[in-house]
């Protein structure tokens, strides 16, 4: 059979078009299969926090999404004292063990949250059998037993522990928690020493919010310097990133990154989310004892984020990640506090029933404009 020149050219063009389409599809698939962890692999870990609901009943494709996008994993609530050690003689290991299995299957950087905190800690921890506050020695012994048991169970498997959480009260010095009141300020030092003994391979972190606050910054810097002089094992500072579209001043946050790094410890961005709703308090923070009555004006986007606000969110996320990239030599990890908007604590805090949009995936776990803005910094 003779094929004329016109037919040959047409078939050649069709073949070239098919090859080009195949190549485009392959590129599109490769881009889709590439997560933030791959884009930022030379900079720092990219993490997410996972809660019990997503751990036990993940939506279709959720675990695959987490594996694609992240290489660090924090348990949102179920390693906190009230969940994992609810009574003196009871330990609830099932959820924490499941969390460990999920992260280890994907060879993730595993973060334990948290060993010592004033909140979400049962009253029995601080009191004797008669309901009276424990004396210093007895409370220290209780702290040590808890740390030995929890950190010891996951020794060599948890790569970083939030050892002490939120022990500083803005620019007022130590928070007057039961730990402080019954032991004294050296409870933090003891917690770190106990953690090093129980988990000698893990990075030990002090974790707090509002770390852009100049007074809190200086207090923590001074604490780190004292610890280093005294041989207290502290490896890093966790800067919670509960921020908003217009707060805090990013320049002040940067000053804190530089100040903490200058002490010789690693900086971890531990709980990043960007609040898109009106501020419901006069101060900005993550103090979970705060709660406000619902008001319509505080829930302006129940049916979806307006395009102009979505654009603001994308710009804000890009601004934060540009800052993190600028200080990549000091920052070990950036962890989002959740994966998709539907699971975020910001939907109910500090006002219950609101609809918030603070993360990089929407309520259907699709990449949103903020995600693409963060990804674009590395493409």
**Paired tokens of 244:** 């908003």
Considering 69, 166, 189, 310, which one is annotated as catalytic? Answer: 166
Q: Looking at the DSSP assignment, which residues form a beta bridge with residue 46?
A: 334
Considering 69, 76, 189, 271, which one is annotated as catalytic? Answer: 271
Q: Three-state secondary structure along the chain? A: CCCCHHHHHHHHHHHHHHHHHHHHHHHHHHHHHCCHHHHCCCCCEEEEEECHHHHHCCCCCHHHHHHHHCCEEEECCCCCHHHHCCECCECCCHHHHHHHHHHHHCCCEEEEEEEEECCCCCHHHCECCCCCECCHHHHHHHHHHHHHHHHHHCCCCCCEEEEEECCECCCCCECCCHHHHHHCCCHHHHHHHHHHHHCCCCEEEEEECCCCCHHHHHHHHHHHHHHHHHCCCCCEEEECCEEECCCCCHHHHHHHHHHHHHCCCEEEEEEEEEECCCCCCCCCCCCCCCCECCCHHHCCCCCCCCHHHHHHHHHHHHHHHHHHHHCCCCEEEEEECCCEHHHCHHHCCCECCCCCCCCCECCCCCECHHHHHHHHCCC
Q: Cβ atoms within 10 A of the Cβ of 325, count?
A: 15
Peptide bond connecting 224 to the previous residue in cis, omega within 30 degrees of 0: no
Do residues 325 and 252 touch, judged by C-beta distance below 8 A? no
Q: Cβ atoms within 10 A of the Cβ of 2, count?
A: 4
CA pseudo-torsion sign 65, 68, 70, 74:
positive
Known catalytic residue at 271 = yes
Residue carrying the six token digits 């259907």? 364
Known catalytic residue at 82 = no
- Residues forming the active site: 166, 271
């Amino acid at each position: 059979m003779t094929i004329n020149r016109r037919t040959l050219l047409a078939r050649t063009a069709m073949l070239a078009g098919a090859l080009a389409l195949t190549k485009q599809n392959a590129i599109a698939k490769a881009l889709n299969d590439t997560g933030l962890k791959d884009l930022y692999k030379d900079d720092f870990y990219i993490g997410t926090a996972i809660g019990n609901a997503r751990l036990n009943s993940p939506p279709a494709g959720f675990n695959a999404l987490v594996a694609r996008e992240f290489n660090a994993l924090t348990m949102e609530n179920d390693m906190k004292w009230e969940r994992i050690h609810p009574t003196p003689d009871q330990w609830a290991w099932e959820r924490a063990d499941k969390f460990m299995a999920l992260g280890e299957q994907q060879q993730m950087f595993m973060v334990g949250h948290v060993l010592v905190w004033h909140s979400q800690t049962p009253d029995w921890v601080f009191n004797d059998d008669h309901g009276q506050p424990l004396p210093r020695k007895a409370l220290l012994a209780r702290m040590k037993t808890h740390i030995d048991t929890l950190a010891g169970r996951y020794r060599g498997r948890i790569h970083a522990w939030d050892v002490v959480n939120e022990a500083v009260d803005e620019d007022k010095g130590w928070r007057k928690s039961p730990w402080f009141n019954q032991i004294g300020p050296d409870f933090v030092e003891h917690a770190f020493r106990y953690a090093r003994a129980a988990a000698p391979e893990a990075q030990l972190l002090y974790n707090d919010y509002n770390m852009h606050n100049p007074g809190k910054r200086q207090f923590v810097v001074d604490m780190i310097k004292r610890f280093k002089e005294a041989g207290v094992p502290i490896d890093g500072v966790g800067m919670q990133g509960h921020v908003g579209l217009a707060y805090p001043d990013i320049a002040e946050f940067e000053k804190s990154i530089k100040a903490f790094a200058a002490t010789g410890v690693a900086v971890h961005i531990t709980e990043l989310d960007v609040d898109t709703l009106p501020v419901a308090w006069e101060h900005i923070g993550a103090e979970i004892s705060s709660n406000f009555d619902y008001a319509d004006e505080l829930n302006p986007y129940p049916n979806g984020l307006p395009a102009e606000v979505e654009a603001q969110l994308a710009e804000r996320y890009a601004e934060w990640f540009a800052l993190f990239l600028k200080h990549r030599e000091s920052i070990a990890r950036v962890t989002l506090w959740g994966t998709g908007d539907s699971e975020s604590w910001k939907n109910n805090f500090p006002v219950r029933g609101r609809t918030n949009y603070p993360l990089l995936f929407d309520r259907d776990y699709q990449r949103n404009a903020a995600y693409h803005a963060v990804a674009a910094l590395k493409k």
